[in-house]
Amino acid sequence: MNNLLIRGAQVVSPTGISRADVRVENGTIVTVAAGLVPEPGEEILEATGLHLFPGVIDPQVHFREPGNTHKEDLESGSRAAASGGVTSFLEMPNTNPPGTTAEMIRAKYALASTKCHVDFGFFIGATPDNLEELNSCPEACGIKVFMGSSTGTLLVSERPDLERIFGNGRKLIAVHAEDDAMIKANKDRLGDTATLQDHPYIRSPEAALKATTLAVELSKKYNRRLHILHCTTEEEADFLRREKIEGLISAEVCPQHFLLIAPEIYDKLGTYAQMNPPLREARHGKALWKALVDGVIDCTATDHAPHTREEKDKGYPLAPAGMPGVETLFPLMLDRALNGYCTLPDLARWMCEAPARLYGMVGKGAVKPGYDADFTLVDLQAERTIRNGHLQTRVNWSPYDGCTLKGEVKKTIVRGKVVYENGVVVAEGRGWGLPLKFDPAWERA
Ligand code: DOR
């Protein structure tokens, strides 16, 4: 079944680019070498002139199922992923009801297996009192802790509760690091006078740094694997540069936090630019980009958080926070590379190798024998314009509407099967996606 020979592509890895053929048997890469001779019955994919990346991984998305499927569901979200070259995603538990029990997370895996186009993993959500559940869900890719409240009801803001979660168990903890009390105090101070332009000061850099500092302290105290989701401030980048311990603590950044810059972006997009943690001024964006380039920040993600136009049009402060992004992640980063900000191998490291390594995903993140045949095949010569109304996400809008980007995803391949090509997600019956496997040995003792 599905034996494939990809011929003549420029294969991109974190260490370089080289022209090679890639042989795939039963969804697994078996050989990467120049000049492979086709075998009988093998499907041939001519890729001369194209670049072949390991499948891109988005380690932070919100696909809204159960409870808010008018915004997105696992099918539409994974379709958006496939169309953006994303072959695996990790999904967040702030659904309705929130995913806070092992049983709910298992049900989500079972549901995803019936309709996802790409491979998937799910976080379990922490509450002040579900420690037992957190520690009885080996399937989850990690524990999500909202230290500051955002969309949904999940929140663990008190230190004793955080101590208990960090101090018991081994699974990776991924934190939304914003200090809830500081946010509340800022909100109360401004009261009814607050406008959208105040959003990044209500959810202030100090609030982000305070929560990140506490999470790092607890990670070190309990030797507990910590991932800081969507860093947004220069202060956090500086702090992590000093304090991060490789192998114990990792961090991510979303492209919108260095591409969409306040205050102008709020004038341009209104509440469509509202998200948590917020879009901020240029100094933060510059520091975050530098931290990514320097390896202080390990990987990219989107925090794909779709809300409908009707919901966004409610105005500040009623509009919900969040913006879609899973299908524009790789195109935006490719454009950035093709404009000279970074290299193509950097993309393979930040978007493929690093997320796979940080979460202990088995068989993901590299074009090497023994790995899953997940690929993002791109044409560097093409261009693509992002347009509202022409997207796969159910909400069908993007903060990048009208942007023309260099490079284009031509095919997305998951375990040897083309799931997206030339603008179309190739759906057949039940989805092709499978649960990601996580290496238990990678969890820290
Ligand atoms: O802006 C955000 N939206 N930040 C989050 O943390 C949650 C997300 C959502 O789910 O809407």
Q: Which residues pair with 378 in a beta bridge?
A: 51, 409
Residue 443: band (very low, low, confident or very high) from pLDDT cuts 50, 70, 90: low
Q: Which of 275, 280, 302 to mutate to test the pocket of ligand 1 (most atoms within 8 A of CB)?
A: 275
Q: What is the mean pLDDT of residues 426-441?
A: 86
Ligand 1 centroid distance, CA of 56 (Å): 22
Ligand 1 centroid distance, CA of 102 (Å): 22
Ligand 1 centroid distance, CA of 275 (Å): 6
Alpha carbons 437 and 359: distance in angstroms, whole number: 10
Domains defined for the chain, CATH in brackets: 4-52+367-429 (2.30.40.10), 55-364 (3.20.20.140)
- Report the percent of the chain where pLDDT is more than 90: 96
Q: Measured between alpha carbons, how far apart are the two ends of the chain, in Å?
A: 40
Q: Which residues pair with 91 in a beta bridge?
A: 61, 122
In 10 A of CB 326, how many CB atoms? 34
* Residue whose CA is at the smallest distance from ligand 1 atom 3: 322
Six-digit token pair at 127? Answer: 């509450």
pLDDT value, residue 427: 75
pLDDT value, residue 445: 39
Distances (CA, A) of 263 to 20, 187, 283, 321, 324: 46, 19, 12, 16, 20
pLDDT value, residue 430: 77
Out of 39-53, 56-70, 264-278, 416-430, least confident range:
416-430
Alpha carbons 288 and 241: distance in angstroms, whole number: 11
Q: What is the mean pLDDT of residues 90-110?
A: 98
Ligand 1: which atom is nearest the Cα of residue 306?
A: 11
Alpha carbons 132 and 121: distance in angstroms, whole number: 20
Q: Which of 72, 144, 230, 303 to mutate to test the pocket of ligand 1 (most atoms within 8 A of CB)?
A: 303
Task: Report H helices in 114-231.
Answer: 131-134, 159-167, 180-190, 199-202, 205-222
Ligand 1 centroid distance, CA of 312 (Å): 13
- Site residues for ligand 1, CB cut-off 6 Å: 62, 94, 150-151, 176, 275-276, 303, 305, 320-322
Alpha carbons 352 and 369: distance in angstroms, whole number: 16
Q: Which of 150, 265, 314 to mutate to test the pocket of ligand 1 (most atoms within 8 A of CB)?
A: 150
Whether 288 has a pLDDT exceeding 50, the answer reads yes
Ligand 1: which atom is nearest the Cα of residue 62?
A: 10
User: Whole-number mean pLDDT of the chain?
Assistant: 97
Q: For residue 90, give the nearest of 328, 331, 334, 360 by alpha carbon.
A: 360
Q: Which long-range contacts (CB under 8 A, 24 or more apart) does 149-153 make?
A: 149/180, 149/183, 150/94, 150/176, 150/178, 150/276, 150/321, 151/62, 151/94, 151/276, 151/305, 151/320, 151/321, 151/322, 152/94, 152/95, 152/96, 152/98, 153/94, 153/98
Q: What is the mean pLDDT of residues 367-380?
A: 98
To 10 degrees, what angle do helices 282-294 and 234-243 make?
30
- Report the percent of the chain where pLDDT is more than 70: 98
Ligand 1 centroid distance, CA of 277 (Å): 8
pLDDT value, residue 99: 98
pLDDT value, residue 100: 98
Q: Which residues pair with 22 in a beta bridge?
A: 6, 32
Q: For residue 359, give the nearest of 56, 102, 141 by alpha carbon.
A: 141
Higher pLDDT, 444 or 118: 118
pLDDT value, residue 176: 98
Alpha carbons 415 and 29: distance in angstroms, whole number: 9
Ligand 1 centroid distance, CA of 28 (Å): 35
Ligand 1 centroid distance, CA of 109 (Å): 21
Ligand 1: which atom is nearest the Cα of residue 321?
A: 1
Ligand 1: which atom is nearest the Cα of residue 176?
A: 6
Ligand 1 centroid distance, CA of 440 (Å): 29
Ligand 1: which atom is nearest the Cα of residue 307?
A: 11
pLDDT value, residue 440: 78
Ligand 1 centroid distance, CA of 322 (Å): 5
Ligand 1 centroid distance, CA of 280 (Å): 16
Element (H, E) at 280: none
Ligand 1 centroid distance, CA of 131 (Å): 23
Alpha carbons 239 and 209: distance in angstroms, whole number: 8
Q: Which of 72, 151, 308, 326 to mutate to test the pocket of ligand 1 (most atoms within 8 A of CB)?
A: 151
pLDDT value, residue 442: 67
* Residue whose CA is at the smallest distance from ligand 1 atom 7: 151
Alpha carbons 154 and 100: distance in angstroms, whole number: 9
pLDDT value, residue 156: 98
Ligand 1 centroid distance, CA of 196 (Å): 16
pLDDT value, residue 48: 98
pLDDT value, residue 123: 98
- pLDDT tens per residue across span 236-258: 999 999 999 999 999 999 999 99
Alpha carbons 388 and 281: distance in angstroms, whole number: 25
* Residue whose CA is at the smallest distance from ligand 1 atom 4: 276
Q: Which of 61, 62, 316 to mutate to test the pocket of ligand 1 (most atoms within 8 A of CB)?
A: 62
Element (H, E) at 314: none
Distances (CA, A) of 52 to 59, 250, 326: 20, 27, 19
Q: Which of 178, 276, 279 to mutate to test the pocket of ligand 1 (most atoms within 8 A of CB)?
A: 276
